[in-house]
Amino acid sequence: MSKVTIATLQKMKQEGSKFTSITAYDATFARLFDDEGAHALLIGDSLGMVLQGCDDTLAVTMDDMVYHTRCVARGTRNALVIADLPFMSFTTPEQACHNAGRLMAAGARMVKIEGGDWLCESIRQLTRNGVPVCGHLGLTPQSVHVFGGFKVQGRDEFQAEEIYRHALSLQEAGIQLLVLECVPAALAERITKALRIPVIGIGAGPATDGQILVMHDAFGVTSGYTPKFTKNFLAETGDMRAAVRLYIQQVAEGTFPGPEHSFN
């Protein structure tokens, strides 16, 4: 596979081809995912939960993100490397630019930022400074205490319209990708069709342009609660590389996620 860029994913959206993303936190797994053809690797602040053992993502620091971004970038040749801006690291456009610069210097090719249209000025400033931005709407884990837990978002009409409106505003501000997490499949489909940019789903049904999973969920090694939208591909294959290939294949075919992984 040749080097994946934002333009690659945009072309795949236009052609109706599904792309696959997965989280990575070190060079070894980054190389494995890259070798097997994953299109994008996300250094997620989910590392606070799956690596550090926290109950949420809020304790993850910029230093944590820079360290893991550097590790993943060293193991990646072709996949698009995206890194999260962690909790309270983008409260002003100036802070967002400073911290995004640290992630880009560590090897990220795009930063992901959680939140709605109140971030538009920061997104405009980031893109003016040459930083590609991925938005994140729906269940945004950094707002877990505002939501009262890890709950599906957008099930009532008012909330669904708010998420839809935020998606359009973020696109106009300059994001080039959007993650939709834990929203009803019908809402995700509506947003995906409305946006010019590629949309990545996690717990958002099969109609998005791409899918992403936390690597620990894809291998069935997450301790404690297992989200409905995940699938243990390792259990079906017995081999990590084969599990990644199966994940990519089923996303491309449209067989994952199925109805059992989606929300109404």
Catalytic residue among 36, 181, 189, 253: 181
Are residues 73 and 37 in contact, defined by beta-carbon separation less than 8 angstroms? no
83 neighbors 74 (Cβ within 8 angstroms): no
Q: Tokens 């998606």 correspond to what residue?
A: 167
First and final C-alpha spacing in the chain? 35
Give me the helices (H) in 16-56, please: 27-36, 47-50
φ/ψ of 177, rounded to 5, equals -145, 160
Contact 200, 137 (CB under 8 A): no
Clarify whether 15 is annotated catalytic.
no
The SS3 call for residue 84 is strand
3-state secondary structure of 209: coil
Give the residue numbers marked as catalytic: 181
